């Protein structure tokens, strides 16, 4: 049965208030699950978000022969990849989950072979894998593509270290080869590496388990290969807070809250958003692990900006859609320049139908003229970040909205409607 959200808008009035806690980062948890393949034994994780993408990644480990189960609650996960008996990523799941590509590094490094489906494009863009193919070859593997499948074999069954330079910074590319280097013979150097906090966290948990990784969080990461890892002591790996979920809630607060405090966060991971909101005139209070925002009243105008997405620590592309909703409220002409993905502005057509003044200049740039009021509409969630942006827009719009295709939202936000109701949003999940 398909479900959809029904949201009653506040007609531009700031009605939300209270506190909302951020959960563990989707884009960290998914990679730690993949990293279990590097271990000689199970790994225990906590603060794991209970979301569809995590369930799918655990399904891949199980269907390949590993075990994955929840501990005392859905946020505690134990993964043991030792039972994996195949080198083929489960196609029906892998081709729908781009993140599954990070499994290729550990599998190839551990078992000498990996077969995986081309992860394919999605609404935000083509999602090529050329960096992966080239880097596997540099580490001593042969790559054969037959149809939609890649078959990668390490010569003599073992990868060797190599010097890799990524023409474009790639988050999953960096993570895949950081993990491959952990079991390759010799030294691997990744240059022009992505610097996301989730990569630093991944390197930290691997180093705590016997890996030798230096430079995570900088453009050059060096990995000295060794033997399979072991989780030390009884402490579970605690997943780093989700900076994208945190940022989405802050934007919601800036639009629709009398006062909203977002807790369980690491403000240092949100500097770009904090600076941008502050520049626009949004009132923000910062504490060590929380941020409080207030929507500015009618009198106080929000400044328009040129928003340019950029690899970390620049403005995150995953916050571009929620931010664009806020820009409809800014007094003047803003431009959104999505530099990373070529298909990540298509959702703005739906904002236009809600009443936003949006002009698509090309597939990377839109102009937003404000302030405009938004009216509720029936919308389809094209991907998880635009889907949440539609929820944010619907909460402040006049009238009711329906948001369909909400599996896309459940992929990355746990029980989102329940959590938003606790701060005053009028949102219900309905069975179609
Ligand atoms: C990761 O995607 C995240 N996904 C994305 O979050 C995020 O938007 C993106 O990084 C950028 O921050 C996960 O971590 C699972 P890229 P990823 O490889 O790694 C080009 C979400 O909503 N490229 O960093 O797939 C590519 O076309 C998702 O949680 C190549 O050219 O993104 C893009 O232009 C959406 N060749 C650029 O690099 C390659 O072989 C950055 O993509 C690989 C990538």
Give which of 50, 117, 61, 104 is closest to 85, Cα–Cα.
61
Average pLDDT of span 178-184:
98
Cα of 172 from ligand 1 centre, angstroms:
6
Cis peptide before 85 (omega within 30 of 0): no
Average pLDDT of span 3-8:
98
417 band by pLDDT with thresholds 50, 70 and 90? very high
Burial of residue 432 (CB within 10 Å: 0-12, 13-18, 19+) is exposed
> Taking a C-beta distance cutoff of 8 angstroms, is the pair 207, 213 a contact?
yes
In the chain, % of residues over pLDDT 70: 99
Locate the ligand 1 atom nearest the alpha carbon of residue 244 and give its number: 29
> Taking a C-beta distance cutoff of 8 angstroms, is the pair 304, 327 a contact?
yes
| Ligand 1 pocket, residues with Cβ under 6 angstroms | 26-27, 30, 98-99, 125, 127-132, 168, 170-173, 194, 317-318, 340-341, 384-385, 412
Cα of 129 from ligand 1 centre, angstroms:
10
- DSSP line for 159-184: -B--EEE-SS--HHHHHHHHHHHHHS
pLDDT score, position 299: 67
Cα-Cα-Cα-Cα torsion 319, 324, 326, 328, nearest 10 degrees, comes to 180
Q: Which residues are catalytic?
A: 122
Cα of 196 from ligand 1 centre, angstroms:
11
Residue with the smallest CA separation from ligand 1 atom 7 is 318
Lowest mean pLDDT among 96-100, 213-217, 416-420: 96-100
Assess whether pLDDT exceeds 90 at residue 124.
no
Distance in angstroms (rounded) separating the CA atoms of residues 332 and 207: 49
pLDDT score, position 147: 87
Q: How are strands ordered across the β-sheet holding 149-154?
A: 113-117, 149-154, 141-146
pLDDT score, position 304: 98
Q: How are strands ordered across the β-sheet holding 378-380?
A: 378-380, 400-404, 3-8, 426-431
Lowest mean pLDDT among 35-39, 145-149, 174-178, 417-421: 145-149
Distance in angstroms (rounded) separating the CA atoms of residues 279 and 153: 51
Assess whether pLDDT exceeds 90 at residue 101.
yes
Average pLDDT of span 275-286:
97
pLDDT score, position 126: 82
In the chain, % of residues over pLDDT 90: 94
Locate the ligand 1 atom nearest the alpha carbon of residue 167 and give its number: 31
Backbone angles phi, psi at 386, to 5 degrees: -65, -35
Indicate whether this model's pTM tops 0.75.
yes
Helices vs strands, H then E, count in the chain: 14, 23
346 band by pLDDT with thresholds 50, 70 and 90? very high
Cα of 171 from ligand 1 centre, angstroms:
6
Assess whether pLDDT exceeds 80 at residue 122.
no
> For the segment 53-90, what is each residue's pLDDT rounded down to a tens digit?
999 999 999 999 999 999 899 999 999 999 999 999 99
Burial of residue 1 (CB within 10 Å: 0-12, 13-18, 19+) is exposed
Backbone angles phi, psi at 110, to 5 degrees: -85, -40
> For the segment 286-307, what is each residue's pLDDT rounded down to a tens digit?
999 999 999 987 667 899 999 9
Average pLDDT of span 320-342:
97
Distance in angstroms (rounded) separating the CA atoms of residues 39 and 270: 32
pLDDT score, position 127: 85
Contacts of 139-146 with CB under 8 Å at 24 or more apart are 139/164, 139/177, 139/180, 139/184, 139/188, 141/108, 145/118
Pocket test for ligand 1, best of 102, 135, 173 (most atoms within 8 A of CB): 173
- DSSP line for 362-373: ETTEEEEEE---
Cis peptide before 371 (omega within 30 of 0): yes
Averaged confidence pLDDT in the chain: 96
> For the segment 224-258, what is each residue's pLDDT rounded down to a tens digit?
999 999 999 999 999 999 999 999 999 999 999 99
Distance in angstroms (rounded) separating the CA atoms of residues 359 and 335: 9
pLDDT score, position 120: 64
Assess whether pLDDT exceeds 90 at residue 207.
yes
Show Cβ contacts of residue 12 under 8 Å, excluding neighbours closer than 6 positions. 373, 374, 396, 398
């Amino acid at each position: 049965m398909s479900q959809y959200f029904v949201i009653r808008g506040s007609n531009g009035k700031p009605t939300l208030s209270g506190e909302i806690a951020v959960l563990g980062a989707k884009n960290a948890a998914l990679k730690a699950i993949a990293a279990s393949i590097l271990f000689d034994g199970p790994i225990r994780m906590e603060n794991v978000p209970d979301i569809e993408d995590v369930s799918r990644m655990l399904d891949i480990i199980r269907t390949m022969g590993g075990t994955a189960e929840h501990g005392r609650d859905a946020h505690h996960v134990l993964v043991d990849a030792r039972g994996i008996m195949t080198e083929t990523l489960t196609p029906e799941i892998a081709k729908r989950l781009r993140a599954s590509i990070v499994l290729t590094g550990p599998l190839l490094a551990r078992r000498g072979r990996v077969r995986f489906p081309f992860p394919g494009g999605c609404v935000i863009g083509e999602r090529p894998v050329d960096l992966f193919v080239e880097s596997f070859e540099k580490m001593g593997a042969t790559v054969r593509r037959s149809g939609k499948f890649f078959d990668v074999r390490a010569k003599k069954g073992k990868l060797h270290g190599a010097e890799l330079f990524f023409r474009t910074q790639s988050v999953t590319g960096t993570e895949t080869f950081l993990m491959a280097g952990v079991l390759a013979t010799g030294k691997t150097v990744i240059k022009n590496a992505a610097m996301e906090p989730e990569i630093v966290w991944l390197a930290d948990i691997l180093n705590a388990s016997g890996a030798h990784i230096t430079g995570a969080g900088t453009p050059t990461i060096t990995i000295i290969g060794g033997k399979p890892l072991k989780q030390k002591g009884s402490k579970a790996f605690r997943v780093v807070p989700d900076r994208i979920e945190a940022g989405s809630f802050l934007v919601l607060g800036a639009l629709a809250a009398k006062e909203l405090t977002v807790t369980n966060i690491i403000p240092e991971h949100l500097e770009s958003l904090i600076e941008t909101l502050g520049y626009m005139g949004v009132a923000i209070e910062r504490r060590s692990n929380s941020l409080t925002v207030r929507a500015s009243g009618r009198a106080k105008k929000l400044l328009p900006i040129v928003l340019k997405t950029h690899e970390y620590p620049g403005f995150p592309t995953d916050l571009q859609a929620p931010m664009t909703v806020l820009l409809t409220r800014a007094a003047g002409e803003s431009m959104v320049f999505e530099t990373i993905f070529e298909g990540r502005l298509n959702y703005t057509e739906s904002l236009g139908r809600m009443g936003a003044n949006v002009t698509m200049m090309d597939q990377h740039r839109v102009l937003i003229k404000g302030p405009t009021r938004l009216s509720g509409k029936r919308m389809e969630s094209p991907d998880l970040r635009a889907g949440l942006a539609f929820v944010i827009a619907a909460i402040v719009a006049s009238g009711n909205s329906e948001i369909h295709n909400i599996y896309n939202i459940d992929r990355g936000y746990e029980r989102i409607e329940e959590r938003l109701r606790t701060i005053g949003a009028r949102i219900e999940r309905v069975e179609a």
